[in-house]
Amino acid sequence: MAGVGLGQLLLALDATLVSLVESPRGLDLPVGSAALIDSDDVRLGLAAAAGSADVFFLLGIGSENQDEALRWMDRQARDRVPVAIFAKDPSAALVGAAVAAGSAVVAVEPRARWERLYQLVNHVLEHHGDRADATEDSGTDLFGLAQSLADRIHGMVSIENAQSHVLAYSASNDEADELRRLSILGRAGPPEHLEWIGQWGIFDALRASDGVVRVAERPELGLRPRLAVGIYQPAVDPSRPPAFAGTIWVQQGAQPLAADAEEVLRGAAVLAARIMARLAARPSTHTRRVQQLLGLIDGEPDVAAVAGELGLAADGDAALIGWDTDTKADTATGTAPRRARLADVMALSASAFRRDAQVAARGPRIYVLLPQTQTRAATSWVRGTMSAMRDELGVQLRAAIAAPAGLGEIGAARIEVDRVLDSAARHPISVGQVTSLAEARTTVLLDEILTMVGREQRLVDPRIADLCVREPALAETLRVYLDSFGDVGAAARSLHVHPNTVRYRVRRVEELLSTSLADPDVRLLFSLGLRVAGNG
């Protein structure tokens, strides 16, 4: 197991559960395993068996057995220095001994249940952060989904299983109410809260349908407004209804939830069900199959077999959308850090639009496959998603659409989409924010030709390069004249000069370059050279 960085682990656990006291070796050390050590283990010397763990949870260690804990820390440091120790109300002496040995110290909220923390840490280690297999993405990361949903709709999210045990959650702030804090800590919610929620039939409503349920604010109980949606998974027997698998809760803070919060929450429920199913049936092949279909990994896919595994119709048309961020706008608005979760956020929107939508990413580029979707519907969804991303996250996007395309053609369509987005990255003005392959083909082909010629200076006529340096006004006149197909009047109007001025400058160019612009080959060669010079 590659593990996750200590800082990454603490961010996933959230300040509700833990807080960093000291970290003498920084926050980048990898954590791949955890062990529980209680006071009897320390007293009886039984903790050595767990000595190879990266982090330790020190249970029941207080002032009455502090000396034993310090001796354990000393022995542990001689064998293998822990990355971190977790303790409730760690004493100054324990912190000092750990820091001297090189271990970080993490304080655990006193009300937290140790078994809950242990389960969450192991969940994070298995399904969050770096992976040994580079082809795997966050498709099994409930924490990532919770945080992406929170970022998208501006609420605090928790994901629970059918037994109301919290599986993952987004970062909390000081607006989190007591019910949320206690749920994360692994403690039962306040009885009056649970009784009120039960009386109003909220649990029954969540188990009865996949619709979004609104939970009103109760100021007298300190209960903030919430949205909730049930998570449902298909039954093993197709004749039976989907099975209730859990709930996604969204607590509202001072900031209103996004206008489309309910729609996005329904999409999140689809993704949560998919992730929970993958976790239950590890190792998952879902992400790899989507990547094979898009041609993102080596190997020719068996389209019919892959479609069957993904639950898609092998003979149906689909729309493929490639997404890129506008890096300059992203940096200017300070939203670059949000790009890391953009694929998860995009999956929320896609799954709300079509339950069978498939999402994959390579680097900063995201691909969305929408089965059984024609160009007009795909374009409408793309424009709506682009607007929502801009308004809710401040992220500027660019999209290229390939539709309609059969599943067997998706790999080739993805290559064409990449060509459009690559061209748009080089020349954003030439390619619109939302475009199709047909609309951009001329622009893309010309851009690729100019890029290829520009890499080989020997393919650019040296006379043009010299003219651009020595006589820029003549070079600009020549470019406009060629673009105007030799129409002197049109070129003069574009340049805001008299037609005789254009005629004089064209003759001057012919004299300086010792050539005639009546030759079509000369005009083509000069036009390409001028465009390459302009691109540079």
Q: Residues spanned by CATH 1.10.10.2840 within the chain?
A: 456-534
Give the C-alpha separation, 59 to 62, whole Å.
9
Confidence (pLDDT) at 320: 94
Give the C-alpha separation, 534 to 536, whole Å.
5
Give the mean model confidence (pLDDT) for residues 200-229.
90
Give the C-alpha separation, 439 to 436, whole Å.
5
What percent of the chain clears pLDDT 70, i.e. is strictly above it? 87
Which one, of 108, 82, 110, lies nearest residue 21 by Cα?
108
Give the mean model confidence (pLDDT) for residues 150-176.
89
Q: Which helix (H) or strand (E) holds 339?
A: none
User: How many CB atoms lie under 10 A from the CB of residue 534?
Assistant: 12
Confidence (pLDDT) at 62: 63
Higher pLDDT among residues 6 and 79, named by residue: 6
Phi, psi of 178 (to 5 degrees): -65, -35
Give the C-alpha separation, 389 to 346, whole Å.
9
Q: Which residues neighbour 417 within 8 Å (Cβ) at sequence distance 6 or greater?
A: 320, 321, 322, 367, 400, 401, 402, 437
Burial label for 134, CB within 10 Å (0-12, 13-18, 19+), is: exposed
Give the mean model confidence (pLDDT) for residues 476-484.
90
Give the mean model confidence (pLDDT) for residues 227-241.
84
Confidence (pLDDT) at 48: 46
Confidence (pLDDT) at 255: 92
Confidence (pLDDT) at 137: 44
Question: Hey, what are 459's tokens?
Answer: 């393919």
Is the Cβ–Cβ distance between 378 and 319 less than 8 Å? Answer: yes
Which of 45-49, 265-269, 502-506, 528-532 comes out lowest in average pLDDT? 45-49
243-252 vs 155-161, strand pairing mode = antiparallel
Q: What is the second-level CATH architecture of the domain 4-127? A: 3-Layer(aba) Sandwich (3.40)
Q: Which helix (H) or strand (E) holds 247?
A: strand 243-252
Give the C-alpha separation, 300 to 169, whole Å.
38
Fold for the domain defined by 142-281: Beta-Lactamase (3.30.450)
To 10 degrees, what angle do helices 499-513 and 472-483 make? 110
Burial 179-202 (b: 16+ CB within 10 A, else e): bbbbbbbbeebbeebeebbeeeeb
Question: Hey, what are 263's tokens?
Answer: 């729609």
Confidence (pLDDT) at 227: 96
Is the Cβ–Cβ distance between 339 and 330 less than 8 Å? Answer: yes
Mean pLDDT value across the chain: 82
Secondary structure class of 144 (helix, strand, coil): helix
Q: Is the pLDDT of residue 333 over 60?
A: no
Which of 278-292, 316-330, 341-355 comes out lowest in average pLDDT? 278-292
CA-to-CA dists, residue 128 to 32, 139, 463, angstroms: 11, 10, 58
Q: Is the pLDDT of residue 136 over 50?
A: no
Give the mean model confidence (pLDDT) for residues 395-403.
89
How many helices and strands (H and E) does the chain possess? 22, 17
The 10s digit of each residue's pLDDT in 106-135 is 999 998 888 888 888 887 887 654 333 433
Q: Point out which residues pair with 218 in neighbouring strands.
A: 223
Give the mean model confidence (pLDDT) for residues 274-298.
77
Higher pLDDT among residues 431 and 22, named by residue: 22
Confidence (pLDDT) at 430: 56
Give the mean model confidence (pLDDT) for residues 335-356.
74
Burial label for 427, CB within 10 Å (0-12, 13-18, 19+), is: middle
Give the mean model confidence (pLDDT) for residues 258-284.
85
Give the C-alpha separation, 366 to 342, whole Å.
8
Is the Cβ–Cβ distance between 76 and 46 less than 8 Å? Answer: no
Which one, of 135, 145, 118, 132, lies nearest residue 276 by Cα?
145
Q: Residues spanned by CATH 3.30.450.40 within the chain?
A: 142-281
Q: What is the second-level CATH architecture of the domain 456-534? A: Orthogonal Bundle (1.10)
Which of 111-115, 229-233, 453-457 comes out lowest in average pLDDT? 453-457
The 10s digit of each residue's pLDDT in 416-445 is 888 888 887 776 655 568 887 777 777 777
Which of 238-247, 274-283, 358-367 comes out lowest in average pLDDT? 274-283
Confidence (pLDDT) at 189: 65
Q: Residues spanned by CATH 3.30.70.270 within the chain?
A: 286-451
Q: Which helix (H) or strand (E) holds 531?
A: helix 520-535
Query: Residue 159 carries which side chain, given as an amino acid letter?
Result: I
Instruction: With cut-offs at 50, 70 and 90, classify the pLDDT of residue 138.
Output: very low
Q: Residues spanned by CATH 3.40.1390.20 within the chain?
A: 4-127
Phi, psi of 301 (to 5 degrees): -75, 150
Is the Cβ–Cβ distance between 502 and 482 less than 8 Å? Answer: no
Tally of CA atoms within 13 A in the half-sphere of 107 that contains its CB: 14
Confidence (pLDDT) at 43: 60
Q: Which helix (H) or strand (E) holds 16?
A: none
Domain 286-451 class?
Answer: alpha beta
Secondary structure class of 172 (helix, strand, coil): coil
Q: Is the pLDDT of residue 366 over 60?
A: yes
Give the mean model confidence (pLDDT) for residues 367-387.
91
Confidence (pLDDT) at 257: 95
Give the C-alpha separation, 31 to 47, whole Å.
19
Give the C-alpha separation, 26 to 10, whole Å.
12
Which of 24-28, 61-65, 94-98, 379-383 comes out lowest in average pLDDT? 61-65
Confidence (pLDDT) at 335: 43
User: CA 264: distance to chain centroid?
Assistant: 15
